[in-house]
Amino acid sequence: MRILVTGGAGFIGVSVVRALVAAGHEVRVLDALLPAVHPAGRAPVLPPGVDFRRGDVRDAAAVEGALAGVDAVCHQAAMVGLGLDLDDAPQYVGCNDLGTAVVLAAMARTGVRRLVLAGSMVVYGEGRYRCARHGEVAPGPRRPADLDAGRFEPPCPVCDAPLRPDLVAESAPADPRNVYAVTKLAQEHLAAAWARACGGAVLTLRYHNVYGPGMPRDTPYAGVASLFRSALARGEAPRVFEDGGQRRDFVHVEDVAAANLAALAAV
């Protein structure tokens, strides 16, 4: 297949591109090389034969040109991280939701009917917790008084008892709790609306803390593993917040790339 990878010059996108090329696909990349991700304004080294085009997914003409002759789209382009405050909301909505809408509209016009969307686990919100008395519950925001007292785990919203964290199932209801999470969920809804309207097929992969070679260093997106490693390399103790009992799931970027290949085959 000939596959367009939006955001294909990013950390995850590059790995997806390499996996696609290794599997024998023709690959075209559309990437704006935004300064937040590419401070030098240069694309990374991509495999030979990859058709790289610099362009923003919010630019309808650039997107439609990149879709010419394409069989499927692997939509990785997005603004990542949680932002500092609500002043960042327009950028997140512009890059993630407007950009996705432009891509979907161009796919509808050009007849491209297969899409794999890079989603995020942040759409699940706080996670899954269970109370011994009330069963599965959704805790509210943590209270400043509890944090000041060193009580970092959220209590049961019904009886205030301690909760037991549990695995989040794929079928768990969405509960986005920040602007980034809202935009990622909106991407999914936009893609579903496109599929229904056009008879297309879409599969969303909800990534969870991706790490691996090429990971950006010392950025919020890099995650705790990279930040800890950088601190140790400087001869410093890693900075640990709260009680250090937090837990995270991590997935290797090559496994994410393999998942994208499987998703493309499924659609």
Separation of alpha carbons 247 and 70, rounded Å:
41
Locus of tokens 């008892």: 161
**What are the extents of the domains in the chain?**
2-125+174-240+249-266, 128-165
Looking at residue 83, what is its pLDDT? 62
CA nearest neighbour of 11 among 97, 88, 78, 99: 78
Separation of alpha carbons 231 and 77, rounded Å:
29
CA nearest neighbour of 194 among 58, 97, 265: 97
Give 216-257 pLDDT, tens digit per residue: 765 555 567 778 888 999 999 998 888 888 877 889 999 999
Locus of tokens 């601190």: 231
> CATH code for 2-125+174-240+249-266?
3.40.50.720
Locus of tokens 């090429």: 214
Looking at residue 141, what is its pLDDT? 86
Catalytic positions, please?
180
Looking at residue 220, what is its pLDDT? 56
Looking at residue 84, what is its pLDDT? 64
Residue 234: exposure state from Cβ atoms within 10 A (0-12, 13-18, ≥19): exposed
Maximum separation of any 2 CA atoms in the chain, in Å = 61
Buried b (16+ CB within 10 A) or exposed e, 241-264: eeeeeeeeeebebeebbebbbebb
Q: Which residues of the chain have pLDDT under 70?
A: 82-84, 217-223
